[in-house]
Amino acid sequence: MIRVVVLVVAALVACAHRPGPPTVRPAVLGETRTLRSEVLGEQRVINVYLPPGYAEGTTRYPVLYMTDGGMAEDFPHIVGAVDVSIKNARIRPVIVVGVENTERRRDLVGVTVDPEEQKAAPHAGGADRYRAFFRTELRPMIERTYRTTKEAAFVGESLGGLFAVETFLVEPTLFDSYIAADPSLQWNEQHLARAANAHLAAWQAGPRQLYLASSDATPIIDGVAVLVRALEIARPAGMTWTYEPMPHEHHDTIFPTAALHGIRQVFALPPAM
CATH number at residue 208: 3.40.50.1820
- Over residues 243-264, the pLDDT tens digits come to 999 999 999 999 999 999 999 9
Q: What is the pLDDT of residue 210?
A: 97
Number of structural domains, the chain? 1
pLDDT, greater one: 36 or 1: 36
CA distance 179 to 160: 10
- Over residues 123-147, the pLDDT tens digits come to 999 999 999 999 999 999 999 999 9
Residue 14 binned pLDDT confidence (cut-offs 50, 70, 90) = low
SS3 readout for 31-73: EEEEEEECCCCEEEEEEEECCCCCCCCCCCEEEEEECCCCCCC
End-to-end CA gap in the chain: 76
Q: What is the pLDDT of residue 222?
A: 96
Residue 2 binned pLDDT confidence (cut-offs 50, 70, 90) = very low
Would residue 5 count as lying in a domain?
A: no
CB 262 within 8 A of CB 254: no
Over 60: is that where the pLDDT of 85 sits? yes
Would residue 41 count as lying in a domain?
A: yes
Q: What is the pLDDT of residue 49?
A: 98
Would residue 96 count as lying in a domain?
A: yes
CB 67 within 8 A of CB 156: yes
Would residue 54 count as lying in a domain?
A: yes
CA distance 104 to 156: 12
Over 90: is that where the pLDDT of 25 sits? no
pLDDT, greater one: 161 or 273: 161
Would residue 1 count as lying in a domain?
A: no
Q: What is the pLDDT of residue 16?
A: 54
CB 67 within 8 A of CB 58: no
pTM, two decimals, is 0.90
Over 70: is that where the pLDDT of 223 sits? yes
Q: What is the pLDDT of residue 214?
A: 98
240: closest CA among 268, 266, 269?
Answer: 266
pLDDT, greater one: 20 or 147: 147
Q: Could you give phi then psi for residue 151, rounded to 5 degrees?
A: -80, 130
Would residue 22 count as lying in a domain?
A: no
Q: What letter would DSSP give residue 23?
A: P
CA distance 172 to 179: 13
What one-letter code names the amino acid at 134? Answer: F
Q: What is the pLDDT of residue 7?
A: 42
Per-residue pLDDT averaged across 140-164, rounded? 98
CA distance 89 to 209: 21
CA distance 252 to 256: 10
- Over residues 182-213, the pLDDT tens digits come to 999 999 999 999 999 999 999 989 899 999 99
Range of the domain at 56: 28-266
Residue 26 binned pLDDT confidence (cut-offs 50, 70, 90) = confident
66: closest CA among 22, 42, 30?
Answer: 30
Would residue 21 count as lying in a domain?
A: no
Q: Is residue 68 packed enough to be buried (19+ CB in 10 Å), middle (13-18) or exposed (0-12)?
A: buried
CB 101 within 8 A of CB 107: yes
Strands 61-66 and 31-37: unpaired
Residue 19 binned pLDDT confidence (cut-offs 50, 70, 90) = low
Would residue 2 count as lying in a domain?
A: no
